[in-house]
Structure 1
Amino acid sequence: MNSASDSDSTRGGDRVTGGPVIRVGSAPDSWGVWFPDDPNQVSPTQFLDEVSAAGYQWIELGPYGFLPTDPAELRDALDARGLSLSAGTVFEHLHRPNSWTDVWDQVADVAALTAAVGGRHVVVIPEMWRDPTTGAVLEDRELNLEAWQRKTSEVDRLGKAMFEQYGVKLQYHPHADSHVGTQTEVLRFLADTDPEHVTLCLDTGHIAYCGGDNIAIICAHPERIGYLHLKQVDPTVIAKVEAEDLPFGEAVKLGAMIEPPLGIPELPSLLAEIQNLNVDIYAIVEQDLYPCATDVPLPIAQRTRSYLGGCGIPSVRFR
């Protein structure tokens, strides 16, 4: 597996030699960006300026429309700051009947833009079964067998179509309050999908949020780990979330996602496990902060970069 291919790593800097590399970047989510346009969020210019100033090269698109959707304009904005794109991001609800066209229309936009500026991955996230803000229950918490089989077969189809049409790899992202969140669900999902077309974006925070063991998942399916989101959760907040059955958005407002090394999982041992996989891979810092004051993200990003750089993992690179 070559998760960060030669074509990924040459744009914006020469390929690092001497063995596989964990390329650490950041994402709009770490600047409190959840929507294409929202008055509670930083501007695209602030995000781009500050993520570069914090010492990261690799970024994600965030919600489609937050950053420029014209490839030339986006490429110019990235190049001006020495930034490169690792992935786009999109949600799916393929367990629902007759949902392919709606999902594909969104995926195609994201995949086309990602590929046009040199990205080779699209992170695909299952939509949540309850509204993250209001907590309103939108669907059953668990899928019946028919819906589960529809989801897994259609995600296989999606991964195949994305790669054939745009040359991007589907990285599936388990998520809190979704149908693929717990460790049991993640392992079942991996067992029921095609490794040729679907690999995992292991989000360390969401796995921990849902009570899972990141290293156990890595050890069970090392060949399926294609991409990483690095984050930690605050166990005290998670205990409150579980006790009160709070929706994800409320949990984030309470500080469920916390900067390392203040939460779990412990990242040095996790990164060491990833290093042992002997693959090139992106590890994107993605600390959910919505909503947050505009002066909050940059100092956290700087401290996080310093912390990750000091974890003693030789293959970690920021440029």
Structure 2
Amino acid sequence: MNTRLGINPLTWSNDDLPRLGSDISLDTCLREAAEVGYQGVELGHKFPRDAAVLGPLLSPHGLALVSGWYSLRLLERDAAAEFEAMQPHLALLSALGTDVMVCAEVTGCTHSDARAPLSARPVIAPGDWARFNRRMGELARMMRDAGMRLAYHHHMGTVVQSADDVDRLMAGCDDDVELLLDTGHLTFAGGDPVRAANDYAARVAHVHCKDIRPGVLSGVLNEDASFLAGVVRGVFTVPGDGCVDYPAVFAPLRGAGYEGWLVVEAEQDPTVADPLTFARAGREYLSSLAW
């Protein structure tokens, strides 16, 4: 198999809304992820950021470190300053054998603010896109030289949220800037992950597999509720339990020779959506489609 199946700890504990899963230990997360059969996990807020500590926590479970989120501020500082700021994170990922970093611009972001409506998300002014893309390309080349790939994560509540935003980023940067294709976030934003997979298959470095419950999404959009309100109401679920057409998403990735991780990332309220049950369901569905 060329792809590997991983999971994000958001299934157990939420980074943006820490009260969700606050009582679930890191050991429970790792033990259950391994029990279900995942090969790796991404970082979460309960993970130690010292490779000498984290490595021995992962190894008894046979889990690799898949990647980990890094918050960019390229609208506020240049690429050199950003590269310097990310050194501890880059060192942690590198020490544990990871060569892909999940990156998202967080200047003005609203996704962690439970009071912010979806319509309040930040946007990049038309005249600032060229500078933003130039800095992104410069940073990606610095990271490449250090053995790390930049996988840009389009995300609700950030400046790169919509399909149009993704297109402007991809068109404005060279191939050093790669894409984290998140099926759930793109669907939430009104985009089409199948179209994105077809357009950018050769530049996809990482895949987050979260599905969407369309009935919940419709209500959240109609109310202009917050992103976190959508999470709590269950807008996201594991692949195979919503409306995303995963066979159609995966076909162009397979055709382009994608050999990275397929990561279940479906933040839900663990008191409503039992983490072990949903982790198992997500893996069983993905394993039927992986290549």
Whether TM-score is above 0.5 comes out as yes
CA contact (8 A) 1:257 1:288 kept: yes
Distance across 1 between alignment mates of 2:120 and 2:127: 15
- Per the alignment, residue 4 of structure 1 pairs with none
| Structure with bigger RCO (C-alpha 8 Å, 6+ apart) | 1
- Per the alignment, residue 112 of structure 1 pairs with 91
Give the drift of 1:185: 1.0
The amino acid that maps onto 1:58 is G
Listed as ranges, the matches of 1:37-186 within 5 Å are: 40-41=21-22, 42-63=24-45, 66-96=46-76, 98=77, 103-104=82-83, 106-127=85-106, 129-130=109-110, 132-136=112-116, 141-165=122-146, 167-186=147-166
CA contact (8 A) 2:201 2:252 kept: no
CA contact (8 A) 1:57 1:84 kept: yes
The amino acid that maps onto 1:257 is F
CA contact (8 A) 1:202 1:228 kept: yes
- Per the alignment, residue 7 of structure 1 pairs with none
Instruction: Encode CA deviations 1:178-209: one digit per residue, 9 max, x unaligned.
Output: 111111111111001121x2100000100111
Alpha-carbon distance change, 140 to 99 in structure 1, aligned in 2, over 3 angstroms: farther
Give the drift of 1:62: 2.5
Could you tell me the TM-score, scaled by structure 1's length? Answer: 0.82
The amino acid that maps onto 1:62 is G
CA contact (8 A) 1:88 1:111 kept: no
Instruction: Encode CA deviations 1:136-188: one digit per residue, 9 max, x unaligned.
Output: 479773221343233222222222222323x1111001001211111111111
Alpha-carbon distance change, 264 to 222 in structure 1, aligned in 2, over 3 angstroms: same
- Per the alignment, residue 23 of structure 1 pairs with 4
Give the drift of 1:232: 0.5
- Find the partner of 1:298 among 269, 276, 280: 276
CA contact (8 A) 2:16 2:112 kept: no
Alpha-carbon distance change, 103 to 244 in structure 1, aligned in 2, over 3 angstroms: farther
Unaligned runs of 5+ in 2: none
Alignment length (residue pairs): 288
- Identity across the alignment (%): 26
The amino acid that maps onto 1:183 is A
CA contact (8 A) 1:120 1:168 kept: yes
Distance across 2 between alignment mates of 1:75 and 1:259: 27
Indicate the SS of the match to 1:80.
Answer: helix
Distance across 2 between alignment mates of 1:90 and 1:26: 17
Unaligned runs of 5+ in 1: 1-15
Instruction: Encode CA deviations 1:63-120: one digit per residue, 9 max, x unaligned.
Output: 4xx2122212211111111111121211223123x36677545522211100001111
- Per the alignment, residue 193 of structure 1 pairs with 173
Indicate the SS of the match to 1:115.
Answer: helix
Indicate the SS of the match to 2:150.
Answer: strand
CA contact (8 A) 1:125 1:174 kept: yes
Instruction: Encode CA deviations 1:216-271: one digit per residue, 9 max, x unaligned.
Output: 11222222111100110111111112211112111101111023322121212322
Alpha-carbon distance change, 103 to 238 in structure 1, aligned in 2, over 3 angstroms: farther
The amino acid that maps onto 1:178 is T
The amino acid that maps onto 1:211 is G
Indicate the SS of the match to 1:221.
Answer: helix
Give the drift of 1:133: 3.1
- Per the alignment, residue 267 of structure 2 pairs with 288
